[in-house]
Amino acid sequence: MIRVIDTLTMAYTKLRTRKVRTAFTVAIAGILFGLVMAIVIISDGVFMSVERMTQKSMTGRFIVGGSTAYQDVADVSRDKDGIAEALLRHKTMVADKKAEAKRLGIEYDAAMDPSPVETFDGQQMLSYSSPIGQAVMNELYAKAQPTRTMDDFKQFADKYQPTVYYEARPTQPKDGALTEMKAGKEAFTQTDTSKQGMSGAPPDLQEATLVPKALLSSYLLPNAKWSATSGHIPVVVSQKRATQLTGYKAPGTDAPAAERLNYLNELRDRVNGATFSACYRNTASSEQITEALSVAKEIAAKKNDTTYQRPSLIYGLPDESSCGAAVVVRDVRTAAEKQYADKLMQFNRKFGAVVDPVQQKVTYEVVGVAPNGWADMDMGFSLGVKDIVASLLMSQSFRFAVPTELYESMPNKTDYANVLSTQKNTDNMGYMGSGGQYFAEFANATDARNFAKNESCQYGMTGCEPRSKYFVMAPFGSNSIGLDEVKHGVSVVLLWTTGIVTILAAVIAGLTIGRTIADGRRETAVFRAIGFKRMDINQIYVTYTLLLCLRIAIFALLIGLGAALLVHSNFWIDTTIQAQLALGVFDPGTQFSFVGFTPKILAIVGAILLAGVAGMAIPLLRNTARNPIRDMRDE
């Protein structure tokens, strides 16, 4: 049997005799396998970085939130029993109002209260313009689609063994709206009070929610300056709001790496204890402000009209930094007029109308910074590497969260009952906020995934179906479940890609090696003639093939590593910042890497060896089986 050193010498000599052919084989096969190497190294780097960073964030937890699903119900506006009930209530109310007006000695016109029923195309239907008609419809909708509770949520979740449940309570101003006081000042504008509840507050304030600290743990400031006795409402804001409050924008791409990596910590330090104010006004208060603006405009327009008589009662605007009540700047009403106005207020108050103006200045103090969700994301979002990674990590969170435990510790929390009202929505649509109102945390991704997949309804033409499912389930606070599925998907793609590339490389390597072996028929015949055994010849060519495959593997590894390092050098800083924001990781030392090494690389090397051996086997067996004398004569 030929010695190993001789085998290596002869195999290496064969590599050097066909340099062009060898270089072609190494280049083509190496590029193909280098592509796979690059995908493996980069994907492993991404997943290893995500796993490393998730250990320090909420993304490592498996939380599923359930939002009350909207389901289409019958058109209750044509319900005959509802119409009859509305007409009865209206008739009773009109009679009561007439009696009360007579008792007080004031006028009452029944036409001021529209009928709760109107006729359309010859059919009676409840009227949306009538408070009674709207109230009856809400009751009918509530009966058709009852308000769902935590017990309903547990009915679906219990069988998947969640470790803990949470409930977030959405808040909304009671009878009125919040208007942000930018730079501490209220901007007085003449508004339609009927729409103020929708447009008064900026989008994030409209989504204010009382949230358990356990759902905010990754975003709370460790050394928050807020105290329960400050009178300020603690709030976890989005990165967008924090940037607006501090004026501190992310450093540009030309800034030093250390400054860019420390951006989030610097933002948190600057926004810690930052405050901003909003003014709450109920309907009556807003109407007085609107009246003050309207009358002031009217007086200015008619300042040169000598026949114009100013109203006997004129309201003026309060100090813009006070969120105070409208001030009376003129009141020349007679005693009888004042008495009549008092009786009218008594009358309206008795029948539920809001007549007492209520206003309140509310100060919020930042105690945490959460990542921007889809609603606050930069519209410049693209399909770049760092953006794809950021989208992989991103999930909708709370835009404006008041930690429940901190709020409950405030001795004056009852002062904010009108601002942070947790009353149920009267439209019975449920809370459609970020991630849901009820939450279940699971010990593993499998249970969480099965719960979300099996117990969620899906929206269709008639609402969420099937009707036996009450909630839309979605991962909350992280994409842990999604990341697990992505890992599996990438593994499948890599398996198929490696298989296809292996076949292509095997064909190329096989053709090259086969041609080399075929060209060496005389050489093989000489080996046989001078006493080499078939095993010795096989040993030489197997060694030759392994050396060639080793070159291909090294070349492929260099290509893959080079591509990964190129991606890493261009994107690691920006991606680290994006990941820190998305995951709530505030350690600058925890950095994102696009370079990762796992046993998958050995599998690719094995695929290269398999491709080489497969390409070598048939021509080698054919050569060693031929008659050496015939081969020498043919040559």
Q: Is the pLDDT of residue 565 over 60?
A: yes
More confident call, 615 vs 179: 179
Calpha distance 168→507 (Å, rounded): 60
Distances in Å between the Cα of 528 and the Cα atoms of 153, 370, 625, 632 are: 80, 76, 11, 11
Calpha distance 250→44 (Å, rounded): 28
Opening angle at CA 427, ends 426 and 432, nearest 5: 105
SS3 content of the chain, % helix, strand, coil (to 5): 55, 15, 30
- How many other C-beta atoms lie within 10 A of the C-beta of residue 116? 27
Percent pLDDT > 90 in the chain is: 37
pLDDT value, residue 462:
73
Calpha distance 319→251 (Å, rounded): 38
Question: Which residues in 240-268 are b (16+ Cβ under 10 Å) and which e?
Answer: bbbbbbbeeebbeeeeeeeebbbbbeebb
- Backbone φ/ψ region at 81: left (φ over 0), alpha (ψ -120 to 50), beta: alpha
Calpha distance 297→492 (Å, rounded): 70
Distances in Å between the Cα of 4 and the Cα atoms of 410, 513, 529, 551 are: 82, 21, 21, 19
Q: DSSP for 47-71, please give it.
A: HHHHHHHHTTSGGGSEEEEEEEPPB
Domains in the chain with CATH codes: 4-61+482-634 (no CATH), 63-71+148-171+429-477 (3.30.70.330), 80-144 (no CATH), 290-350 (no CATH)
Q: What Rg, from alpha-carbon coordinates, does the chain have? A: 38
Asked whether 147 and 465 are in contact (CB, 8 A), the reply is: no
pLDDT value, residue 318:
95
Q: Is the pLDDT of residue 483 over 50?
A: yes
Distances in Å between the Cα of 22 and the Cα atoms of 17, 34, 60, 415, 546 are: 9, 17, 49, 83, 13
Residue range 502-519: mean pLDDT, rounded: 67
pLDDT value, residue 627:
53
Task: Grade residue 428 by pLDDT with cuts at 50, 70 and 90.
Answer: very low
Task: Grade residue 564 by pLDDT with cuts at 50, 70 and 90.
Answer: very high
Q: Is the pLDDT of residue 424 over 70?
A: no
pLDDT value, residue 508:
72
Tokens representing 554? 């090294």
pLDDT value, residue 395:
58
Residue range 480-489: mean pLDDT, rounded: 67
Tell me the pLDDT tens digit for each residue of 345-361. Answer: 999 999 988 789 999 99
Q: DSSP for 555-614, please give it.
A: HHHHHHHHHHHHHHHHHHHHHHHHHHHHHT---TT----S----THHHHHHHHHHHHHHH
Helix (H, G, I), strand (E, B) or coil at 360: strand
pLDDT value, residue 194:
41
Q: Is the pLDDT of residue 522 over 80?
A: no
Q: Is the pLDDT of residue 468 over 80?
A: yes
Calpha distance 145→318 (Å, rounded): 44
Tell me the pLDDT tens digit for each residue of 17-52. Answer: 767 777 887 888 888 888 888 988 988 888 888 777
Least confident of 147-151, 232-236, 269-273, 502-506: 502-506
Calpha distance 450→440 (Å, rounded): 13
Q: Is the pLDDT of residue 287 over 50?
A: yes
Q: Is the pLDDT of residue 197 over 90?
A: no
- How many other C-beta atoms lie within 10 A of the C-beta of residue 554? 14
Task: Grade residue 397 by pLDDT with cuts at 50, 70 and 90.
Answer: confident
- How many other C-beta atoms lie within 10 A of the C-beta of residue 445? 16
DSSP type of residue 276:
E
Write the burial class of residue 346 (CB in 10 Å: 0-12 exposed, 13-18 middle, 19+ buried).
middle
Tell me the pLDDT tens digit for each residue of 99-108. Answer: 999 999 999 9
Asked whether 262 and 310 are in contact (CB, 8 A), the reply is: no
Task: Grade residue 582 by pLDDT with cuts at 50, 70 and 90.
Answer: low
Distances in Å between the Cα of 273 and the Cα atoms of 227, 232, 365, 367, 369 are: 10, 10, 6, 7, 12
Task: Grade residue 57 by pLDDT with cuts at 50, 70 and 90.
Answer: low
Residue range 479-494: mean pLDDT, rounded: 68
pLDDT value, residue 380:
46
Residue range 334-346: mean pLDDT, rounded: 94
Q: Is the pLDDT of residue 328 over 80?
A: yes
Write the burial class of residue 308 (CB in 10 Å: 0-12 exposed, 13-18 middle, 19+ buried).
exposed
pLDDT value, residue 190:
60
pLDDT value, residue 426:
44
Element (H, E) at 471: strand 471-475
pLDDT value, residue 432:
39
Least confident of 454-463, 514-523, 602-611: 514-523
pLDDT value, residue 628:
53
Q: DSSP for 207-220, please give it.
A: T-EEE-GGGTTTTB
User: What's the mean pLDDT when you consider all of the chain?
Assistant: 81
Element (H, E) at 166: strand 164-167
Distances in Å between the Cα of 459 and the Cα atoms of 67, 72, 467, 479 are: 12, 10, 10, 21
pTM of the model: 0.74
Q: Is the pLDDT of residue 367 over 90?
A: yes
Q: Which of 289-298, 392-401, 455-464 has the highest mean pLDDT?
A: 289-298
More confident call, 243 vs 373: 243
The one-letter code for the residue type at 177 is A
Residue 235 phi, psi (nearest 5): -150, 140
In the block, tokens 């309570």 appear at 169
